Amino acid sequence: MARKIVVIGGGAAGMTAASTARENGAGDITLITEDEHVAYSPCAIPFVVEGKIKDFPSIVMHTPEFYRRERGIEVLVKTSVDRVDADAKKVITKDGRSFDYDSLIIATGGTVFVPPIEGRELKGVFPVRWISDGQAIMDWLPSTKQVVVAGAGVIGLEMAVALREKGKDVTVVEMFDQVVPRIMDKDMAHLVQAHCESHGIRFVLGSPCSRIEGEDRVTGVTAAKAHIPCQMVIMATGVRANLRIPEQMGLEIGPLGAVRVSPSLQPYRKGRLVPDVYLAGDVVMCQSAVLAGPTMSQLGSTAVRQGRVAGIRAAGGNATFPGTASPYVSVVGGLHVAGTGMSRSLAEYYGVRVAEAVVKGSSRARYYPDGKDMTVKLIADQESGRLIGGQIVGGEDVTGRVNWITAAILDGVSVNSFVERMENAYCPPTSMVSDTVNAAAEKLARVLRG
Amino acid sequence: MARKIVVIGGGAAGMTAASTARENGAGDITLITEDEHVAYSPCAIPFVVEGKIKDFPSIVMHTPEFYRRERGIEVLVKTSVDRVDADAKKVITKDGRSFDYDSLIIATGGTVFVPPIEGRELKGVFPVRWISDGQAIMDWLPSTKQVVVAGAGVIGLEMAVALREKGKDVTVVEMFDQVVPRIMDKDMAHLVQAHCESHGIRFVLGSPCSRIEGEDRVTGVTAAKAHIPCQMVIMATGVRANLRIPEQMGLEIGPLGAVRVSPSLQPYRKGRLVPDVYLAGDVVMCQSAVLAGPTMSQLGSTAVRQGRVAGIRAAGGNATFPGTASPYVSVVGGLHVAGTGMSRSLAEYYGVRVAEAVVKGSSRARYYPDGKDMTVKLIADQESGRLIGGQIVGGEDVTGRVNWITAAILDGVSVNSFVERMENAYCPPTSMVSDTVNAAAEKLARVLRG
């Protein structure tokens, strides 16, 4: 009884779900997407703009034709879903076609949230989400000397560096009084900001863009009551879940503005699980592995992990998506910026009393040439001594280390246990004999002892 | 009642123990070492020979005078201990001095094991252990065109690359039929060998050096019944614990030829713990975190971890050294070679039935330029599905990833749980969206399902 599957959405979550369903014995699989491309990583767009990656076609891993031929997945691009009839188990497209399903996967993703300010519709104002956005930014560049990036999250900073590399005069405007707000604490964020400033990027913090100026084309931005002239505005103001289809289906939306799901990635309607419907990616509200409360995890890696679970489930198999620590990494002008679990500021927002320790080390032994600074912050729950967060800013070899901290967080390891048990591999060209992560854990254990 | 402490040995274990004891409220601390230097990493010697690190003085982190002045640790260099009177709690040196202790730390380390073959005493035959060895090798280089390295473990390979970089004609001779024997499986070791061969290094495998030839100076080596002309032989044939003092004290020696210790790092005499005596470093036989049986972990990182525990204990505090997964990393001609837990071959030697999976990925997204190949092997206990080992060979960012796998092994995570729970941070310049480690875990889960 191979199941007939419809997937709505062709991003990382949808494509992974479709491919995984295929590997797990699904029957017919139809994937419907509004985009003209599938299977690319929006995370790559800033690096194409910067010129690190050659062009946009190279970030598209596979074509619709590839999925049809190699994986037996029918991909309908530039196709909008009008509605889902969950009782009749049908998806109806805006062009009037109807697709029966045994299992439905909703991976409608998110859209850049553009705040409702004056001038947001002017020419020269761009979100960063689709390849078409990236291409539009590239096309607009020649007529631009000054750029304002609205939002100092990692995408905003990556875009700021990219445009600076292109010789533009770049100002980043951020509502919060720090870069990488919420997920990185101010002390660590300051290292990132200083690095960007050394690349010639200016910051206006603690104040949003209140107005975009211009007649037809953008000519400037107002922020912190000052006028910043510019010919381009990049909107890196966060992503909101695309809820049209879930709302039309009557699915329960969680307090963070995305669809509430069970560990099986099924949605709820009137308090009950909706059978044969699974969600994955930016449209989903996750459970925090640290707090067991709701959290958002709008990351490509999370989309893939959820897509895998949704695909297995949709095909009739068994898998679950448990709580998330949402590890992330970004490369901002050569600086690796990463974090996992809770930041101090977020933990305190949620009412958790925390202890923290910061250690500055190096990616190599002190005497080994070309070692890069590596600053590690670890955060513990004050009461239980459990490790709940980590942040790393460094010049190399950061990704594996943040995954390492993530493993400890997900396993509920206490700081004392980390100190006692967590061994590190050592070689002068790749680490200090006691890794900076271990040194941070030791310092945090001392802080917890008081 | 601050404790008076004597430390025997000035390597990573001894120095860490002394410094940690100081931080934990010890009284007088005297450290006795036969070497003229303290506080350096023997792991750095090949990189000094190669020229990556400027010179030998730069790998010495601190002088004896620094320890005296900054940490109140009396360091006696070039001083040999004659015997320990554990009943009277006294250390007696060969020059006739006597030192009382409340706590004794034994960190006498290990010595390169040179097999008892003909010609081992000839001029031009060098172990790699002390700075004086490294300096002697450097001094001998000008009169050398051809070198034989005996032993294809990581130190042997690092030395082979170093000497090749110096323009020498290098042959590595190894008794086992693969490089990095025991700790790395043959399939992964083959990648390392091929990389070395691409640097122009030759290998004679499956046969030890049976004879070193020459009158006064070495002129060649016999291996696999062939004559290999050379003017220098590097002995990288493994390290044996220095047991003179432990044996004189009547401490129990374990089946692997090093001192058996409790998790408190105390030795045994006639089946009972010896009070106020702690051991750390290469002289210690460890417990395997995977097998709960004996294992050796002669690594700088382990020495530091044990030194920390010994120092805390000696000062009267509480800490333990639990089972070890012994993660290691080496950089061999730019290739990062790492492993943790058990190799397949070692697990099978110990009678464990295993499953394994190997995945070849990249250190970056496929489309991001300059990504380096990364091959990950994971090994599970067939019965329980528990992750018990990992090996990585790759061009960058390997160290953090092997620590990540180590955390999962030490926490007893099953492969299925790794797949379900272990998240990875993603950014195109630093990883694939599903990290190669995650991909290997998924493949291994499929293998385990059969």
For B189-204, what is each residue's pLDDT tens digit?
Answer: 999 999 999 999 999 9
The answer on B279 and B214 residing in a single domain is no
Give the per-residue pLDDT at B382.
96
Give the per-residue pLDDT at B449.
93
The answer on B434 and B355 residing in a single domain is yes
Give the per-residue pLDDT at A292.
82
Mean pLDDT across chain A, nearest whole number? Answer: 96
Residue B321 within any structural domain of the chain: no
Interchain proximity B301–A433, CB inside 8 Å: yes
- Alpha-carbon gap, residue A239 to A151, rounded angstroms: 11
Task: Judge whether A361 and A439 are in contact, CB under 8 Å.
Answer: yes
pLDDT tens, position by position, B332-389: 999 999 999 999 999 999 999 999 999 999 999 999 999 999 999 999 999 999 999 9
Closest by CA to A331, choosing from B364, B363, B368, B428, is: B428
Handedness of CA B433, B437, B440, B444 (dihedral sign): negative
Rg (CA), chain B: 23
The answer on B99 and B165 residing in a single domain is no
pTM value is 0.97
Last residue of a domain, one of B314, B347, B373: B314
**Taking CA B95 as the corner, what is the angle to CA B94 and CA B98, rounded to the nearest 5 degrees?**
80
- Alpha-carbon gap, residue B426 to A177, rounded angstroms: 26
pLDDT tens, position by position, B323-334: 999 999 999 999
Closest by CA to A105, choosing from A256, A294, A283, is: A283
Give the per-residue pLDDT at B217.
98
- Alpha-carbon gap, residue B413 to B388, rounded angstroms: 9
- Nearest residue on chain A to B24, judged by CA atoms? A446
Residue B261 within any structural domain of the chain: yes
**DSSP string of B103-166, one letter each residue:** EEEE---EEE-----BTTTSBTEEESSSHHHHHHHHHHGGG-SEEEEE--SHHHHHHHHHHHHT
**Taking CA B325 as the corner, what is the angle to CA B319 and CA B330, rounded to the nearest 5 degrees?**
115
Give the per-residue pLDDT at A273.
96
Contacts of B322 in chain A (CB under 8 A): 420-421
Task: Judge whether A213 and A184 are in contact, CB under 8 Å.
Answer: no
- Alpha-carbon gap, residue B412 to B290, rounded angstroms: 8
CATH code for the domain in which residue B75 is found: 3.50.50.60
The answer on A339 and A444 residing in a single domain is yes
Supply the ipTM of this predicted assembly.
Answer: 0.95
Token representation of residue A415: 């700081």
Task: Judge whether A129 and A112 are in contact, CB under 8 Å.
Answer: yes
- Nearest residue on chain B to A398, judged by CA atoms? B400
- Alpha-carbon gap, residue B248 to B87, rounded angstroms: 13
* For residue B292, pLDDT beyond 90: no
pLDDT tens, position by position, A231-278: 999 999 999 999 999 999 999 999 999 999 999 999 999 999 999 999
The answer on A444 and A339 residing in a single domain is yes
Interchain proximity B411–A411, CB inside 8 Å: yes
3-state secondary structure at position B23: helix
* pLDDT band for position A40 (cuts 50, 70, 90): confident
Cα distances from A377 to residues A21, A126, B405, in angstroms, run 39, 34, 21
Contacts of B324 in chain A (CB under 8 A): 423
Instruction: Point out the catalytic residue in the list A43, A209, A230, A286.
Output: A43
Interchain proximity A410–B425, CB inside 8 Å: no
In the block, residue with structure tokens 């006064």: B216
Cβ neighbours of residue A195 closer than 8 Å, sequence gap 6 or more: A332, A333, A335
- Alpha-carbon gap, residue B145 to B219, rounded angstroms: 11
* pLDDT band for position B41 (cuts 50, 70, 90): confident
Cα distances from A145 to residues A26, A134, A163, A224, A233, in angstroms, run 52, 17, 10, 22, 11
Looking at CA atoms only, how far is residue A403 from chain B in angstroms? 5
Closest by CA to B99, choosing from B116, B114, B111, B81, is: B81
Token representation of residue B235: 């002995």
Contacts of A406 in chain B (CB under 8 A): 404, 422-425
A 343-402 residues with CB below 8 A of B? 365-369, 396-402
Burial of A372 (0-12, 13-18, 19+ CB in 10 A): middle
Range of the domain at A179: 125-237
Q: Which residue among A58, A403, A434 sits closest to B435, beta carbon to beta carbon?
A: A403
Task: Tell me the average pLDDT across B259-270.
Answer: 97
* For residue A104, pLDDT beyond 80: yes
- Alpha-carbon gap, residue B149 to B169, rounded angstroms: 11
Residue A63 within any structural domain of the chain: yes
A226 strand-pairing partners: A223
What is the number of structural domains in chain A?
A: 3
Task: Tell me the average pLDDT across A12-25.
Answer: 97
Residue B319 within any structural domain of the chain: no
Q: How many interface pairs between A and B have CB atoms less than 8 angstroms apart?
A: 229
With a pLDDT cut of 90, the percent of chain B lying above it is 97
Closest by CA to B26, choosing from B105, B89, B106, B103, is: B103
The 3-state secondary structure of chain A reads: CCCCEEEECCCHHHHHHHHHHHHCCCCCEEEECCCCCCCECHHHHHHHHHCCCCCCHHHECCCHHHHHHHHCEEEECCCCEEEEECCCCEEEECCCCEEECCEEEECCCEEECCCCCECCCCECEEECCCHHHHHHHHHHHHHCCEEEEECCCHHHHHHHHHHHHCCCEEEEEECCCCCCCCCCCHHHHHHHHHHHHHCCCEEEECCCEEEEEECCEEEEEEECCEEEECCEEEECCCEEECCHHHHHCCCCECCCCCEEECCCCCEEECCEECCCEEECCCCEEEEECCCCCEECCCCHHHHHHHHHHHHHHHCCCCCCCCCECCCEEEEECCEEEEEEECCHHHHHHCCCCEEEEEEEEECCCCCCCCCCEEEEEEEEECCCCEEEEEEEEECCCCHHHHHHHHHHHHCCCEHHHHHHHCCCCCCCCCCCCCCHHHHHHHHHHHHHHC
- Alpha-carbon gap, residue B131 to B59, rounded angstroms: 9
**DSSP string of B77-119, one letter each residue:** -S--EEEEETTTTEEEETTS-EEE-SEEEE---EEE-----BT
Contacts of B386 in chain A (CB under 8 A): none
Task: Tell me the average pLDDT across A282-299.
Answer: 93
Token representation of residue A174: 């951020």
The answer on A170 and A248 residing in a single domain is no
Report residue A117 CA to chain centroid gap. Answer: 24
3-state secondary structure at position A215: coil
With a pLDDT cut of 70, the percent of chain B lying above it is 100
Contacts of A51 in chain B (CB under 8 A): none
Looking at CA atoms only, how far is residue B222 from chain A in angstroms? 32
Contacts of B305 in chain A (CB under 8 A): 423, 434
Mean pLDDT across chain B, nearest whole number? Answer: 96
The answer on A96 and A20 residing in a single domain is yes
Q: Phi/psi of residue B340, each to 5°? A: -160, 155
A 52-91 residues with CB below 8 A of B? 52-54, 58-59, 61
Residue A321 within any structural domain of the chain: no
* pLDDT band for position A1 (cuts 50, 70, 90): confident
One-letter amino acid at B188 equals M
Task: Judge whether A351 and A56 are in contact, CB under 8 Å.
Answer: no
3-state secondary structure at position B348: helix
Last residue of a domain, one of B221, B237, B253: B237
3-state secondary structure at position B387: strand
* pLDDT band for position A450 (cuts 50, 70, 90): confident
* pLDDT band for position B39 (cuts 50, 70, 90): confident
Interchain proximity A427–B331, CB inside 8 Å: yes
Looking at CA atoms only, how far is residue A426 from chain B in angstroms? 6
With a pLDDT cut of 70, the percent of chain A lying above it is 100
- Alpha-carbon gap, residue B327 to B398, rounded angstroms: 11
The answer on B55 and B73 residing in a single domain is yes
**What pairing do the DSSP bridges indicate for beta strands B272-273 and B268-269?**
antiparallel
Give the per-residue pLDDT at A164.
98
- Alpha-carbon gap, residue A206 to A174, rounded angstroms: 6
pLDDT tens, position by position, A385-401: 999 999 999 999 999 99
Token representation of residue B17: 């123990």
- Nearest residue on chain A to B301, judged by CA atoms? A433
Give the per-residue pLDDT at B450.
86
pLDDT tens, position by position, A305-335: 999 999 999 999 999 999 999 999 999 999 9
pLDDT tens, position by position, B234-252: 999 999 999 999 999 999 9
The answer on A248 and A207 residing in a single domain is no
A 86-125 residues with CB below 8 A of B? none
Looking at CA atoms only, how far is residue A100 from chain B in angstroms? 30
Looking at CA atoms only, how far is residue B435 from chain A in angstroms? 9
* pLDDT band for position A436 (cuts 50, 70, 90): very high
* Catalytic annotation present for A427: no
The answer on B245 and B233 residing in a single domain is no
* For residue B291, pLDDT beyond 90: no
Q: Phi/psi of residue A322, each to 5°? A: -85, -165
Task: Judge whether B340 and B325 are in contact, CB under 8 Å.
Answer: yes
Task: Tell me the average pLDDT across A46-75.
Answer: 96
Interchain proximity B422–A410, CB inside 8 Å: yes
Which of A423, A431, A433 has the highest number of chain B CBs within 10 A, making it the mutation to test binding with B? Answer: A423
Interchain proximity A338–B425, CB inside 8 Å: yes
Q: Which residue among B319, B402, B420 sits closest to A319, beta carbon to beta carbon?
A: B420
3-state secondary structure at position A132: helix
The answer on B230 and B277 residing in a single domain is no
B 265-304 residues with CB below 8 A of A? 299-302, 304
The answer on A244 and A233 residing in a single domain is no
Last residue of a domain, one of A171, A206, A237: A237
Instruction: Point out the catalytic residue in the list B43, B209, B230, B286.
Output: B43
Closest by CA to A192, choosing from A380, A439, A436, A398, is: A398
- Alpha-carbon gap, residue A96 to A108, rounded angstroms: 19
**What pairing do the DSSP bridges indicate for beta strands B110-112 and B239-241?**
antiparallel
Contacts of B321 in chain A (CB under 8 A): 420
* pLDDT band for position B1 (cuts 50, 70, 90): confident
Interchain proximity B425–A328, CB inside 8 Å: yes
Closest by CA to A343, choosing from A360, A326, A331, A330, is: A326
Q: Which residue among B401, B410, B430 sits closest to A329, beta carbon to beta carbon?
A: B430
Contacts of A332 in chain B (CB under 8 A): none
Contacts of B434 in chain A (CB under 8 A): 301, 304-305
* pLDDT band for position A106 (cuts 50, 70, 90): very high
Give the per-residue pLDDT at A313.
98
Contacts of A403 in chain B (CB under 8 A): 400-401, 404, 422-425, 435, 437
Residue A117 within any structural domain of the chain: no
Looking at CA atoms only, how far is residue B413 from chain A in angstroms? 9
* For residue A291, pLDDT beyond 90: no
Residue B182 within any structural domain of the chain: yes
Residue A296 within any structural domain of the chain: yes
B 392-431 residues with CB below 8 A of A? 396-404, 406-408, 410-411, 413, 420-431
Closest by CA to A303, choosing from A289, A318, A324, is: A324
**What pairing do the DSSP bridges indicate for beta strands B335-341 and B354-362?**
unpaired
- Alpha-carbon gap, residue B381 to B356, rounded angstroms: 9
Interchain proximity B423–A327, CB inside 8 Å: yes
- Nearest residue on chain A to B412, judged by CA atoms? A411
Contacts of B366 in chain A (CB under 8 A): 61
Looking at CA atoms only, how far is residue B358 from chain A in angstroms? 18
- Nearest residue on chain A to B414, judged by CA atoms? A411
